[in-house]
Amino acid sequence: MCSFRFTISKTFRKEVETRLKAAQQLGELRRVKYLLAILAVMDGQSFEKVAQCLRVHPKTVAEWVRLFCCYGPKGAPAKKPSGRKPKLTATQKEELVRLIDQGPIKAGFSGACWRSPMIQQMIFDQFGVFYSVYYIAELLKSLGFSWQKA
C-alpha cells in the first residue's frame, strides 16, 4: 500500500477539525474515524499505521482519502454499511410465520409445542437455508414471536 502526504489550506483544515469535534460530540464513530484518518494522512502517517490505530483495513483508509480528495469532508461514509444480506427473503419470512402459526403437528413434527431444533429443521426443509439453533430464538423474536413457557 502506498504512503503519501497531501496538504490543504489552513481554513480547510480548520473545517475538518470543526467537523471532527461535531462528530465526536454526536458520537458518530465512523465519521470520527474518517476525519482522524484524513488528518493523520495529511500529517504524513502511512495508510497501514493509520489503519492499525483506527482498527480498520488499510484499503478503507485509502478509500477515505480518495473520497476526501473527490468530495472533501462531506465524502465521509454517510451511513453504516448494510452488512450481510438476510438468508431468508421477506416472502420466505412471511411463509415461515404462517407455518409456525399452523403448529408443529401440521408441519409433520410430533409434539404440540415448537422447539428451536424443530424450527431449524423446518427452515432447512422448506427453504434450504441453515440457521444455527442458537440463532432461531433471535429470528423468531424479529418475526414477532415470544418465548412461552410450556
Q: What are phi and psi of 77, to 5 degrees?
A: -55, 125
Confidence band, pLDDT 50/70/90 cuts, at residue 4: low
Handedness of CA 111, 114, 116, 117 (dihedral sign): positive
The ranges assigned to domains in the chain are: 10-75, 90-142
In whole angstroms, how far apart are CA 69 and each of 9, 23, 54, 66? 13, 20, 20, 5
* Separation of first and last alpha carbons in the chain: 59
Confidence band, pLDDT 50/70/90 cuts, at residue 9: confident
Instruction: List all residues 6 or more positions away from 7 whose beta carbon is below 8 Å from its beta carbon.
Output: 42
pLDDT of residue 147: 78
Instruction: List all residues 6 or more positions away from 129 whose beta carbon is below 8 Å from its beta carbon.
Output: 87, 88, 92, 123
Select the more confidently predicted residue: 9 or 89. Answer: 89
pLDDT of residue 54: 94
Q: What percent of the chain has pLDDT over 90?
A: 58
Beta strands in 1-150 (DSSP E): none
Contact 139, 131 (CB under 8 A): yes
For the whole prediction, is pTM greater than 0.85? Answer: no
